[in-house]
Each structure stands twice: as structure tokens, then as C-alpha cells.
Amino acid sequence: MSAREGCALVTGGTRGIGAAIADRLAADGWAVARMSRSGGDVQADVADTEQVRAAFASVRERFGPVLVLVNNAGVRADGLTIRMSEDDWHAVIDTNLNGAFHCTRPALDDMLSARWGRIVNVSSVVAQRANPGQANYVAAKAGLLGFTRTVAREMARKGITCNAVTPGVIETEMTTDVADEIVKAVPAGRVGRPEEVASAVAFLVSDEAAYVNGATLAIDGALGA
């Protein structure tokens, strides 16, 4: 499948891990649409179904059918469960988990028509390693792994793969407040770079990964091992 026959859509694609993924896919020859709430090639809040629907229509008109989808958009609203507000719970679930569903559903229409597609969900090491103070974030990221496996099983005979990556402590704006103790706990002895996550995503969307489906690829310096 040629990268020129469709486009790659990266949610949360204007900064951090999403920007690195978008840059890498563009370097690999994909027409890349970056979706963000505050800019990018197309503006939309992935938590809002109507905004997502309008964004996909715009992307198809400008870039072609969506044959690669990277569900990367994410937010945090940390706090102990006993003190967490309902607003903070729903804000994180709506963006990090529901947003992936909102984007996957229309993307599958394009992929089924092409009988080829790649979906990569950006989860987190905390999906498999409890992190106090992040009940909403952990629930959303763990839910993404179950969602990934289910879509993979549903679409495997259609030439469509769905995989997940679980980054650990990656150097982005979102992790500037991460405690030094957490960084010290990383066996690799350092934080990761967004480009290292992007390299893994680039592999998962390639033809070489056609038989990799429903998998979770850890990019965490052995933090989750």
C-alpha cells in the first residue's frame, strides 16, 4: 500500500509525542493531517463527536482518505480518587478513551473501502502499572488496550491492523512536573525522547508490520517490566 494513496491522521499532533509522530510519518512519505483542539491542519476536540465528524470531512477533502490513524490526543487531571471531581474524571475519559473511539469509527470506513489500514493507539506504561493519583488517566489508558485488541480481532481479515504503544516517561510538556523519584525508577536511567516513540509507531504502520496486530509495544526503558 503506497503512502500516496491516502493520508495519516494524528490526533494531538501539534506538540510532544504527536508532533514527533507526525514529523516521522511525513518523512516516510505520508500526507499527514495534524488534529488538535487549538490548531494544526484541522481543529477539533476529539471528545466531541460532531467536531470529529466535521474534521474527518475536512481531512478527506484536503488530504484524501484516512488510511493511518494515530490516536494520540490526551490530557491529565491528576488527583487522589477520594478527592477527584466528576469533571476531572470525565474530562480525561472523554478525551483519552472516548476520543479514540470517536476517531476510529470514521477512519474504519475509509480503511474498509481500501481494504488496508493502520491504527495505533498511544496508551501509557501506567495502563499496566498502577500510579496513585491518576485513576482517571490509568482507567482511560488501560481501556485503550482493551479497545485495541478488540478492534484488531474485528478487522484482522480486512487488511487492517490495530496496535498500541505504551510510552513511559517521555520528555514532553505533559511530563515536566513528573517527580525525580519516578525518573530514577526507570531502569534505563533516563527519560525517553518523543522521536523514540515515533520510530515505534512508524514501524507499526509499515507494511513490514502487517502481521503485528492487537499488540502492545512498550517504549519505557523497562519501567513496566
Q: What is the DSSP string of 1-32?
A: --GGGSEEEEETTTSHHHHHHHHHHHHTT-EE
Distance CA 170, CA 60 (A): 31
Q: Count H helices, E strands: the chain?
A: 7, 8
Q: Which amino acid is at 134?
A: Q
**Which is nearest to 155 in space by CA: 199, 80, 104?**
104
Give the DSSP H/E element, type plus range, for residue 35: strand 31-36
Question: CA-to-CA distance for 35 and 53, rounded, in angstroms?
Answer: 12
- Which residue is listed with cell 481479515? 157
CA 16, CA 195: separation in Å to the nearest integer?
A: 9
Of 75, 137, 164, 194, the active-site residue reads 137
User: Is the C-alpha dihedral spanning 45, 48, 54, 59 positive or negative?
Assistant: positive
Task: Indicate if 137 belongs to the active site.
Answer: yes
Catalytically active residues are 137
